[in-house]
Structure 1
Amino acid sequence: MTTDSSAATFPRQYARTLRYTVGAPRSFAVAPDGARVAFLRSRSGTDRANLLWTLDAATGEERIAADPAALLGGGEEDLSPAEKARRERSREGSAGIVGYALDGSGTLAAFALSGRLFTADLRTGTARELPATGPLVDPRPAPDGVHVAYANTAGELRLSRADGTADRVLVAPERAGVTWGQAEFIAQEEMDRDRGYWWSPDSDRLLVARADDAPVQRWWIADPANPGTAPAEVAYPAAGTPNAEVTLWLLGLDGARTEVVWDREAFPYLARVHWSANGAPLLLVQARDQRSQQIRTVDTATGATELLRAEQDPVWLDLFPGVPAWTPGGELVRIDDESQVRALVVGDRQLTGDTLHVRSVFAITDDSVLFSASAGPSDIDLPPGWTGLFRAGPDGVTRFADNGDGAASAVHGGGLTVLSTTSATQPGSTVRVLRGDEVIATIASHAETPLLTARPQFRFAGERCIPSAVFLPTGYDRERDGLLPVLMDPYGGPHGQRVVQAHNPHLTSQWFADQGFAVVVADGRGTPGRSPEWEKAIAFDFAGVTLQDQVDALHGLAEEFPLDLGRVGIRGWSYGGYLSALAVLRRPDVFHAAVSGAPVTDFGLYDTHYTERYLGHPAERPEVYQANSLIPDAPKLERPLMLVHGLADDNVVAAHTLRLSSALLAAGRAHTVLPLSGVTHMTPQEEVAENLLLLQVEFLKNAL
C-alpha cells in the first residue's frame, strides 16, 4: 500500500489505481498441453503498464515473457486514434500490453505495443519485434504459429511471418471508410465482438469481416477548450439511421477471396463467428430488430451458408459469451430462454432448469460443457449477486468449483482451470490454478489494498425481491445517529449489474456512506442475472419500469434500515445518469437531489443496436422515444440537479447533456453543469476522477 501522503485518501487512491484493477492479474490463457498459464499484470498497484507473464504449471514459477519498458527502450507508448477508440470501446484504462493472442500450441503470443507488432516465445520468455506496417491492432498468430495476422489503421489485413522474414498485405480497402479484419463500432460497443477475423484450424485461410462505414452518418466531436483543434469526425449510427455494411469473406493466404453469403437484408448484424476443428464455421446473424436470428454453417469451398437453427423472440434475443459453438462430437452448444428460463442447450437437449440462470459458456471439453450461472427464478436461497461455475457432463449438472457465497469466473484448458473468486468481505479477487480439484498455484496480485472496507448488507427488497445492497457509515450507531440522508447509487439498466458478491465494486458506495449517507444500490428490472422475464420487463419502457423499481427498493428497505425518506439523493453515470435525472424530473416527491453523469437524455441520439433492441425503431415507435426522453420533462424540474459530461465522449455525446441543459434554461429551471474537457465516457484521468467524487459529495450535502 502506498504511503505517499498526497495519495492517502480514498478518492485519490481509487482514481490512481483504476478502481484497484492496476496490479491485479487478468486476461488468462492456458496452453492446450497444460504446461503453462499466460496472463497480464503490472509490476505494482500504481503502475498501469501491463507485462505479459507465464506461470509454469509444474513448478508454480512466474516469469516475465514480455516487458513493455524493455521492448520500447524505456520510451512512452504512442497510441493511434484507432487504438484509443478501441480501448474506449472495451473500457480499457491500463497501458502496456492490454491484450494478446496465442497460437494453437500456446507457445507463441502476439501483441501490439505502441502500434507495433511483437511476439513472445512463452517457453523461453523471450520477446521480439516483427516487421509490420502500422499502427496496427489485434495481431493473432495462426494455429500453426507460422504467420501472424494483424489489422492496421489503413484498413488493411496483413500477414507477417513469425520468423520475422516477411510482411505483406493480405487484403486492402478499396476506398476510405472500408476496413478489413476489424470489428465495427456497433460490434465493439454493443455486441461484445471485438475482433474482425478468425483463423482456420488448419492455418491455411481466414474468415475476415469487411466493414464499410460510408452509409453511417458523421458527427463531429469538438474540443471547446482548444478552439484551434479541428473537430474529430466520428461515424456514429444513431437509432433509426444506417449502420455500417458488414460482409464476411474467406481469404486464402495467397489473397484469394470468396464471399460468405447469407440474407444480409434480413439479418444485417454479424454477431458471432466460431471456427474450430469440431465442425464447419458457425455464424450467428441477427435481424435489425433483434427479435429473430439465425445460426448458420459455412461451406468453406463455396462460401454458401446453410441454416442450422432459426430463433425468434417477441421481445428480443440476447447474445452470450462462448456460444454458439461445437462440442468435439459435433453437437451445437447454445444458450436460450425459449422456456422462459435462461438455459444451456446441447444438441436438442436442455441441460439446465429454473434453478440456474445461465450467463456464459467458458469451456467445452471432450465430455462436458463448463458454464457460469447465477441463481434462477426458483432459487432464492443464494444471496443477491452470486455467480457460480458449473459442469454439464455425464453426471448431469454439477458444481464445477466452490466459490461459497461469492462470485466466480474461470478459464479452462489443457486440464487446468484458472479460477478467480471474490468475496463481499475480502478486497480484490483470489486467482488459483487447479488441476482437477487440486490447487497447484496461486497467482499473486499486486493491486493495492483499499484504504477503506466496504460493508454491504444484501437484501431482496420489496414485493418484487429487488436485489439490493445497503451501506451505512462506518461506526454508525442508530440510537446516537438516528435516521440518515439517503443516496441511491444505481446503474439500473441493461448489462449493468451492480449488486455483486464482491468487495471492491462496492467501495465507492461505502465511501459515500462514510460521508454521512445511507447508500442504497438496487438492481431493478432490466439488469442482468435474474430471469429472462426480469431482464425483458423494460421493453419499450425504460423510464417507467427502472424508476419504479428504484422507488420500490427504497421504500422496501426503509422498513429495516435508518433511511430518512425526506432527504433522498441519487447519483449515477451513463444509464445511471439517465436514471438519476429521470428521478428528480418525474418523482420529486421521492427524490430531492441528483447527480447525473453522462446521461442519455434523448435515446434518438444513442446507437442502433442498443436502443432499438429495447425501444424499437424510432420511425415505428416515435411515441416510445418521446416517453423515454428527458427533454420534455425539463419544465418539471424542482429539485437540485448537477449534470456532468465529458466533452470528448463519442459514446454518449455531450449533446445529450447540452440539450437537456438548454431545455432547462428555456424553462427557467436552475441547474448545475460540470463539463469535463478532454474526458471521454470513461474518466481515467486521476485528478478528474478524484475531484468528481469530492464535488458530488459537496453538491449532495448542500442539496440535502
Structure 2
Amino acid sequence: MKITKLFFGILFFIGLTTYAQDKAFTLDEIWGGAFRTEGLQSLYSMKSGTEYSVLEKDQVSGTTNIEVYSYETGEKTKTLVSSSSLGDLSTFQGYSFSKDENRILLSSELKQIYRRSSEGIYHIYDVPSKGIFKVSDKKIQSPMLSPDGNKIAYVLDNNIYMLNFVTGQEVQLTDDGKKNEIINGITDWVYEEEFSFVRAFDWSADSNKIAFLRFDEREVPEFSMDVYGKDLYQKQQVFKYPKAGEKNAKVSLFIADISAMALDEVKLGTYKDFYIPRLKWTSNPDILSVQVMNRHQNNLDLIFVDAKTKTPKVVLNEKDEAYIDITDNLTFLDDNSFIWTSEKDGYNHIYHYAETGELISQVTKGTWEITDYYGYDKKNKKIYYQSVENGNINRDIYSITLDGKDKKRLSQKEGSNDAEFSADFSFYINYFSNATTPYEYSLNNGKTGKVVREITNNKGLLEKLAGYDVRPKEFSTIEINGETLNTWMIKPKDFDPKKKYPLFMYQYSGPGSQSVRNSWYGANDYWYMMLAQEGYIVVCVDGKGTGFKGAKFKKATQNDLGNLEVQDQIAAAKYFGALDYIDASRIGIWGWSYGGFMSSNCLFKAPDTFKMAIAVAPVTSWRFYDTIYTERYLMTPQENAKGYDNNSPINFVDGLKGKFLLVHGSADDNVHVQNTMQLVEALVQANKDFDWAVYPDKNHGIYGGKTRLHLYNKMTNFIKNNL
C-alpha cells in the first residue's frame, strides 16, 4: 500500500490564512446557515434562447412574480405574471409553460407526499388574454399540459383525468383508482424512490393521445408507521412497500386516444415479473417508446409501440452481467433516430441509433465516464454533456458533433462544472466550484465556452471564512486491495507529523456513489473542520463499488454488498493507522443510510481496528429494504441468501467491542426504523453495551427545527467521549 499522488489545493489557503484568525466553527453556526452559499434561482429558458424566466417573491408586498431576463445583459425585460393581478391566487410556488409559452401552469398549496411526489392546487394562466382559471378545487398530482397547450392531464385519487380548455370538456380516463390498490398515471412508492419519477403518463406530440401506466398493488405487502404528533392518540401511515423477494405491483400500459374517446391496454409481450421504468412518446405522434426491464434489472428492451395497431416492437436490447442503470437521456431527433447512453463498452458513453435500432455511431469513447447529458442542438448537430475525462473527482462540460467529431472542452476551471443551457444552446450558465472556491455562476458562450458575463459569486463567504481556522481537504490516491482509491484528508492546524492523532473516517460507499469530489463544502465538511480543530484527522475513502471509474469498478460488489466495500474501509483504516502520525488505537468511522450499514459492519467485523462507530438511519439487513434497489445488486433473498445474510450487521453483533451510536427517525418511509429496532434487539440479546437515539416523526433526512443541531451535538459529544 502506498500513496501514489497528491494534489493539494493549498495556494488559496496560503493567501487566506495569512489574514486568518483562529476562530473555531460551531455547530450552531453550521446548522444555522452561517456558511451557506449564495445560489441561483431555478430558471426556465424561454424558447427564443435569448431570455430566461425566474420565480421571484417581493419581500415588501408579498407578491409572487414570473420575471423575464435577458441572457446577455442580465437585465429584466418584462414581468410575465404577477400574483397581484391574479385575484384570489395571492401567491404561487411553481410554474411550467406550454410548448408555445402561451399558457402557464401555476402551482400553489403544495403538500409533500414522499421524496419526489406532492399534491397541490393548480391554475392555468393564459398569457395573451391574461385570464386565469383553476384546474380543480381539489388537490391534484402531476399535472401536465399538452404540447399544443389546449389540454391538461392530471391525477386525482389515483385516477387520471383530461381537461380540454377549448371545449370545456373534462374526461375521467380511469375509474378504478383506489388507495393501496390501484394507481393510474403516477408511480407507486418503490418506483418513485428507485426509478426517480412520479408522473407515469405522457402526451403524444400531436396532443391527441395519452400513454399511462397502471399499478395494481393489491398483492403488495403493506408497511405501517406510527406518526405520534401531539394528539392524545398517534396516527398510522399505511402504504404498500415491497421488500426484497416480495411481490411487486403488477404494471400495465394503456393508451388513451382523446379524439376517438378510446382507451386500450397495450400488451408488450410475454414478460413476467417486469418493470416499466420509462415511457416517452417519440417525435412521431403514433410511436410510443417504452423501456421494459426484467426483475433482475440486467436485461432492458427499448420497445416502440404503434399507437394505431397497439403493436410492440423491440428496437434495442441491452444486457449486463450485473445491472443496467435507468436514465432520462433518451432523446429523439426529428427523423426518430435517437440518442442513448450505455455502459456496454465498460464506461458510460453516448450512442446514436437509427429508428430501427441499428447503431449509427458511438459518439463518445474513452476510459472515462459521461456523468450528465445536457441535450442535442439540432441546428448545429451538437451534443452537450458533462464528463470526468479530466480526472474522476472533477466534472467538465463538453460539446461534440453527432458523428463523434470536433469534441471541445467548454469549461476552463478545474473542479466541478455544471451547466444549464438556453433553449437554442447559444448560451449556458456555468455552475463552478472546487475545494478552494465556493460556487461561482457565469454566463458562457455555448460554442466556445468563453465567459460572456459574471453572474454572481461567493466572495463574501470567503471574506467571512478568513476569520476562521479553515482546514483544507488534501486529495490523494492510495493503493488498497489491488485498486487505486480516491481519498481526502483534513488535518488539524499546526499539524505535527511527529505527533499521534486520532482518526475519524467518513464514507457512504453505495453502488455508483462518490464522496471524494473536488467541489465546495457542504455542512458536514465544516463539521469535519470543527473536529480537526479539536485535534482529529478526518479522512474519506471511496472504495470498490463507488462510481465514475468504469462499470467494472462500480459493479465489483455485485451480489455481495458490504463485503469488498467493508474490506476496503478496514484496509484503509489499517493503512492510515500505520502512518507515524496516526494513533492506530483511536480510529472511528461513521456513515448515514448505506454509510450506516457500512460503519456498523466495520465496527462489528473489525473490532480490533475500529474503536467506535456511528450509524445513522442504517440498513441492518437487506431483507428489510425494497425490491428494486436491493435486488438490482443482490438478486432476491430466495436466490442469494448468503449475499443478504453474510454482510448484514444484524448478524454480526457478537463482534462488537468498541463504542457504538445508533440513530434513526421513527417516520423513515425509506429505510424503516424496523432496521434499528431489530439491530437493537440483537445487541440486547448479545448483551452488548451501546448508545442509541430515535427521533420522533422524522424521516430519512432527520431534520426540522433544531433536530439536525441536536443530532450533531450528540454525535460530536460521542466522538469526543469515545475517540
Shorter chain as denominator, the TM-score bin is 0.7 to 0.9
- TM-score normalised according to structure 1 size: 0.86
Cα distance change of structure 1 residues 299 and 602 upon mapping to structure 2, 3 Å threshold = same
2:176 to 157, 173, 178: 173
Superposed counterparts of 1:153-172, under 5 Å: 154-160=157-163, 169-172=172-175
Amino acid in the other structure paired with 1:342: N
- How far off is 1:585 after superposition? 0.4
Q: Which residue of 2 aligns with 1:332?
A: 338
Cα distance change of structure 1 residues 170 and 643 upon mapping to structure 2, 3 Å threshold = same
Q: Which residue of 1 aligns with 2:720?
A: 701
Q: Which residue of 1 aligns with 2:543?
A: 524
Matched, 1:616 2:635: yes
Amino acid in the other structure paired with 1:328: D
The Cα offsets for residues 467-504 of structure 1, whole Å up to 9 and x where unpaired, read as 1111123x33326x833211111111124321222112
Cα distance change of structure 1 residues 389 and 250 upon mapping to structure 2, 3 Å threshold = same
The Cα offsets for residues 321-376 of structure 1, whole Å up to 9 and x where unpaired, read as 313x323343232222222222221122222223321223220222122222223x
Cα contact 1:292–1:313 (8 A) shared by 2: yes
- How far off is 1:162 after superposition? 5.8
Structure 1 unaligned regions, length at least 5: 1-7, 77-95, 376-381
Cα contact 2:25–2:526 (8 A) shared by 1: no
Q: Which residue of 2 aligns with 1:87?
A: none
Q: Which residue of 2 aligns with 1:295?
A: 302
Matched, 1:387 2:395: yes
Provide the C-alpha distance between the structure 2 equivalents of 1:67 and 1:454, rounded to a whole number of angstroms.
46
Q: Name the SS of the counterpart of 1:214 in structure 2.
A: coil
Q: Which residue of 2 aligns with 1:246?
A: 251
Q: Which residue of 2 aligns with 1:410?
A: 419
Cα contact 2:560–2:644 (8 A) shared by 1: no
Q: Name the SS of the counterpart of 1:183 in structure 2.
A: coil
Cα contact 1:218–1:235 (8 A) shared by 2: yes
- How far off is 1:590 after superposition? 1.6
- TM-score normalised according to structure 2 size: 0.83
Structure 1 or 2, whichever has the larger Rg, is 2
- More displaced 10-residue stretch of structure 1: 228-237 or 191-200: 191-200
Provide the C-alpha distance between the structure 2 equivalents of 1:686 and 1:52, rounded to a whole number of angstroms.
30
Superposed counterparts of 1:299-338, under 5 Å: 299-323=306-330, 325-338=331-344
Q: Name the SS of the counterpart of 1:295 in structure 2.
A: strand
Matched, 1:11 2:30: no
Q: Name the SS of the counterpart of 1:462 in structure 2.
A: strand
Cα contact 1:130–1:164 (8 A) shared by 2: no
Cα distance change of structure 1 residues 434 and 173 upon mapping to structure 2, 3 Å threshold = farther
Amino acid in the other structure paired with 2:302: I
Provide the C-alpha distance between the structure 1 equivalents of 2:550 and 2:64, rounded to a whole number of angstroms.
37
- How far off is 1:696 after superposition? 0.5
Structure 2 unaligned regions, length at least 5: 1-23, 110-119, 354-358
- How far off is 1:644 after superposition? 0.4
Q: How many residues in Structure 1 have an aligned counterpart in Structure 2?
A: 662
Q: Name the SS of the counterpart of 1:231 in structure 2.
A: strand
Amino acid in the other structure paired with 1:37: Y
Cα contact 1:33–1:105 (8 A) shared by 2: no
Q: Which residue of 2 aligns with 1:229?
A: 234
Q: Which residue of 2 aligns with 1:372?
A: 386
Cα distance change of structure 1 residues 550 and 439 upon mapping to structure 2, 3 Å threshold = same
Cα contact 2:362–2:404 (8 A) shared by 1: no
Provide the C-alpha distance between the structure 1 equivalents of 2:32 and 2:236, rounded to a whole number of angstroms.
29
Between the two proteins, what is the percent identity of the paired residues? 22
Q: Which residue of 1 aligns with 2:20?
A: none
- How far off is 1:174 after superposition? 4.5
Superposed counterparts of 1:543-692, under 5 Å: 543-556=562-575, 562-692=581-711
CA RMSD of aligned residues (A): 3.3
The Cα offsets for residues 654-675 of structure 1, whole Å up to 9 and x where unpaired, read as 0100100100000100111110
Q: Which residue of 2 aligns with 1:184?
A: 188
Cα contact 1:271–1:284 (8 A) shared by 2: yes
Cα contact 1:634–1:664 (8 A) shared by 2: yes
Provide the C-alpha distance between the structure 2 equivalents of 1:68 and 1:496, rounded to a whole number of angstroms.
42
Provide the C-alpha distance between the structure 1 equivalents of 2:442 and 2:272, rounded to a whole number of angstroms.
44
Provide the C-alpha distance between the structure 1 equivalents of 2:303 and 2:195, rounded to a whole number of angstroms.
18
Cα contact 1:55–1:61 (8 A) shared by 2: yes
Q: Name the SS of the counterpart of 1:683 in structure 2.
A: coil
Q: Name the SS of the counterpart of 1:543 in structure 2.
A: coil
Q: Which residue of 1 aligns with 2:97?
A: 102
- More displaced 10-residue stretch of structure 1: 438-447 or 490-499: 438-447
Q: Which residue of 1 aligns with 2:122?
A: 117
Amino acid in the other structure paired with 2:439: G
Cα contact 2:442–2:451 (8 A) shared by 1: no
- How far off is 1:144 after superposition? 1.6
Amino acid in the other structure paired with 2:712: L
- How far off is 1:137 after superposition? 2.2
Provide the C-alpha distance between the structure 2 equivalents of 1:307 and 1:467, rounded to a whole number of angstroms.
40
